[in-house]
Amino acid sequence: MPDSSQPHDGPDPTLATDPAVYKTLLESTRAIPWRIDWATATFSYIGPQIEELLGWEPSSWKTVEDWATRMHPDERAWAVDFCVAQSRAGVDHEADYRALTKDGRYVWIRDVVHVVRDEQGEVEALVGFMFDISERKKTEQKLLELQRELERLSFKDGLTGVGNRRHFESVLEREWHQARESRRPLSVVMIDIDYFKQYNDRYGHVAGDDCLRRVGRLLDTATGRPRDFLGRFGGEEFVLVLPDTDADAALRVAECCRDAIAAEAIPHSASPVAGVLTVSMGVGTRIPDDNEPPLSFIAEVDRSLYLAKQQGRNRIVAGKRAD
């Protein structure tokens, strides 16, 4: 027992060289210490805490192979290659990987490695700490999912669930570029509900919202290919982007949309063209060239839609053929 009545001047210097002190310190941390002898690629030490974390007894950690095989196959190749290359180069490093537990689960580990050299500067050993980072990884994963969800929501029209205007613009940009590269036709269909103002006036705004949702669903089922895009362009106007689709095929898609809406027979007693809800459509097709911006193509499709309205509504007008 130290004599507390005696004045003491700093820590006991003998403790600084006492291996027992270091051992106690190392084995009382949450991080798991280890040492690998470089020449034999064997563990010369691993903290007993490893058993609590992974279930494998310290004595079962014999060679570097034991370390590598208890690693998730998805990380194994790169983690082993990376650590070996860094160690060979004598560079301290760290690696994140999933370590296998004795009962078959995986735990995310951050291995922080220090390279020990001998007097000649040759690598003598690796010493390091394994940290359990599963909680951090879970939080990272949650953040990533939230970010994806936010991204998804920022591209979605809140009322109908189809793509919003921003999404449409980004899809158009991408598909325009793709069509220009592949020299394949790209078609766009603009769809506008006829006399929707009168619909709202007759049935109310809530019914108007319902109607927009219904039309969104109908248009969605009328377009089948995975790369087809449906978006809400504005108020009661929808837009379809149809990659790799020539003028005839685009017209068929437009007719399909019109038929689907007609078959639903949504009452619209205030419509001067029919007793049910109808739509007007403009269709355009392009094999884009380097000079035309996509928005001038959209303006042209919009003009076709305007013509459809002018010519009496409940019809499809296709622009000049480009294929």
Ligand X SMILES: Nc1nc2c(ncn2[C@@H]2O[C@H](COP(=O)(O)OP(=O)(O)OP(=O)(O)O)[C@@H](O)[C@H]2O)c(=O)[nH]1
* Binding stretches for ligand X (CB under 6 A): 159, 192-198, 200, 205, 208-209, 212, 235-236, 309, 313
Nearer to ligand X, 245 or 314 (CB): 314
Q: How far is the CB of 212 from ligand X (least distance, A)?
A: 5
Phi and psi at residue 3, to the nearest 5°: -85, 110
Q: 208 vs 243, which CB is nearer to ligand X?
A: 208
Q: How far apart are the first and last CA of the chain?
A: 97
**Token pair of 190, please?**
């603009």
Comparison of 164 and 187: residue with beta carbon closer to ligand X: 164
Q: Are 97 and 72 contacting, i.e. CB atoms less than 8 angstroms apart?
A: yes
Residues near 17 by Cβ (< 8 Å), separated by ≥ 6? none
CA distance 4 to 204: 88
Nearer to ligand X, 38 or 196 (CB): 196
The torsion angles phi and psi of 263, rounded to 5 degrees, stand at -65, -30
Minimum Å gap between C-beta 230 and ligand X is: 16
Nearest-10 Cα torsion for 36, 111, 98, 80: -50
Nearer residue to ligand X within complex by CB, 163 or 208: 208
Taking the complex as a whole, how short is the minimal distance between the CB of residue 288 and ligand X, in angstroms? 28
Residue 21 or 299 with smaller CB distance to ligand X = 299
Question: Which residue lies nearer to ligand X by CB, 32 or 308?
Answer: 308
Contacts of 72 (CB under 8 A, 6+ apart): 97, 98, 99, 100, 106
- To ligand X, the closest distance from the beta carbon of 314 in angstroms equals 9
In the bound complex, what is the minimum distance in angstroms from residue 215's beta carbon to ligand X?
Answer: 11
The residue type at 256: C
Residue closest to ligand X, measured at CB: 208
Query: Bridge partners of 115?
Result: 126
DSSP string, 112-139: EEEEEE-TTS-EEEEEEEEEE-HHHHHH
Q: With respect to ligand X, which residue has the nearer C-beta, 132 or 302?
A: 302
Dist CA 114 CA 124 (whole Å): 11
CB of 241 to ligand X, least distance (A): 21
Shortest CA distance to 257 belongs to which of 212, 303, 190, 158?
190
- The count of other CB atoms within 10 Å of the CB of residue 142 is 10
CB of 222 to ligand X, least distance (A): 20
Which runs of consecutive H residues, i.e. helices, occur in the chain?
19-27, 49-54, 64-69, 73-88, 134-154, 165-182, 196-203, 205-222, 247-264, 294-310
d(CA 33, CA 271): 78
Kindly state the smallest distance separating residue 228's Cβ from ligand X, in Å.
23
